[in-house]
Amino acid sequence: MASLAKAQIIGHVGRDPEVKVVKDFTITNFSVAVSEKIKGQDKTTWFKISIFGNQGEFVLKYVKKGSLVFVDGRLGMNEYQGKDGVWKSAMEITASDVKLLSSKRDGEPSILAIPLAKNKPAYDANEDSTPF
């Protein structure tokens, strides 16, 4: 039986993205806070976001602390022991798509889609052939 753990979130980036190289893989990590009101009280849930390969280069270039982003990907849970010795858990998303909805930097567009590496649009208006 197949299973699915998909997540789509919109929130603010908590820290600038960082890059790690593990074996032959480049991993870009950053955190996103999703806030909501529950019974009049603010509640914030933090997500650790990981994105692999060339896609991470676009994240590094455009996404900064405070940016509003949309993240689509696979949801997971990581349990770890903190520096204080207490066991903790963190929600993690392995992103397949990240879109920058707003930026802290002046002069940038309000909505910027971060393109996925090696993806070609289904139709290019500049091509001579008709798509249908």
Q: How far apart are CA 8 and CA 75, in angstroms?
A: 9
4-38 tens-digit pLDDT: 899 999 999 999 999 998 888 889 999 999 998 88
What is the CATH topology of the domain spanning 6-113? OB fold (Dihydrolipoamide Acetyltransferase, E2P) (2.40.50)
103 pLDDT more than 70? no
CB 65, CB 13: distance < 8 Å = yes
Q: What is the pTM of this model?
A: 0.72
pLDDT higher than 60, residue 119: no
